[in-house]
Amino acid sequence: MRSVVALGVMAVLLGMRVWEQRDLVRGAAPALEGTTVQGDKLSLAHFRARPLLVYFWAQWCGVCALQQGAIAAVAADWPVVAIATESGDVDQVRAYMGEHGLEMAVLADEDGALARRYGVRGVPTLFVLDGAGRIRFTEVGYTTGAGLRLRLWWAARGWR
């Protein structure tokens, strides 16, 4: 009986995951370029040599706040582009970054246009791209730093 319940729970969780990720883009990552809140020009083409984590988040998102430490730790070892979606203008996002000691490249997506381009319907949403700019892994919701590092490592080896 326990195995039937466990299978049922796993089926529900898998169904929720499929539902959450239904609109996320697959294959080649859409163009992503702009000026970071730090004032630097950014383009996905700058990251073609190694895997990249593209991280959609928002200031008002509690789960994003819980995950910030793991994202910052991953950013110390792997390229990360963070997109602050519907979190205010460049100055507001820059102030938030300073208050929380976050030092990764961040694009301010004031109106959510970048998020829509990627099919993002909720935050946090993460994409792991390989060195050729193909989306290898997607995740919606909380993800551990270890899980992200493993996905980036797999992407570096061309695994899926």
Domains plus CATH for the chain? 2-156 (3.40.30.10)
pLDDT band per the 50, 70, 90 thresholds, residue 91: very high
Report the half-sphere exposure of 97 (CA within 13 A, side-chain side): 24
Largest CA distance in the chain: 58
Tokens representing 13?
A: 């969780």
What is the separation of C-alpha 69 from the centre of its chain, rounded to a whole number of angstroms? 14
Q: Please give the average per-residue pLDDT across 150-160, as a whole number.
A: 88
> Is pLDDT at 138 greater than 90 in this prediction?
yes
Please tell me the predicted confidence (pLDDT) of residue 110.
95
Q: For residue 124, what is the DSSP state? A: S
More confident residue, 25 or 48: 25
The two structure tokens encoding residue 21: 């990720």
Token pair of 5 as six digits: 């319940």
In this prediction, residue 153 carries a pLDDT of 96
Cα Rg, the chain, nearest whole Å = 16
pLDDT given at position 8: 66
Residue 24 — very low, low, confident or very high, per pLDDT cuts 50/70/90? confident
Q: Are strands 52-57 and 80-85 parallel, antiparallel or unpaired?
A: parallel
Gap between the Cα atoms of 108 and 60, Å rounded? 14
Q: In what order do the strands lie in the sheet with 125-129?
A: 105-109, 80-85, 52-57, 125-129, 135-140
Q: Is pLDDT of 73 > 60?
A: yes
Please state, rounded to an integer, the average pLDDT across all residues of the chain: 89
55 CB burial (10 A radius; 0-12, 13-18, 19+): buried
Check if the beta carbon of residue 98 is closer than 8 Å to that of residue 73: no
Q: How far apart are CA 62 and CA 78, in angstroms?
A: 24
Query: pTM here?
Result: 0.88
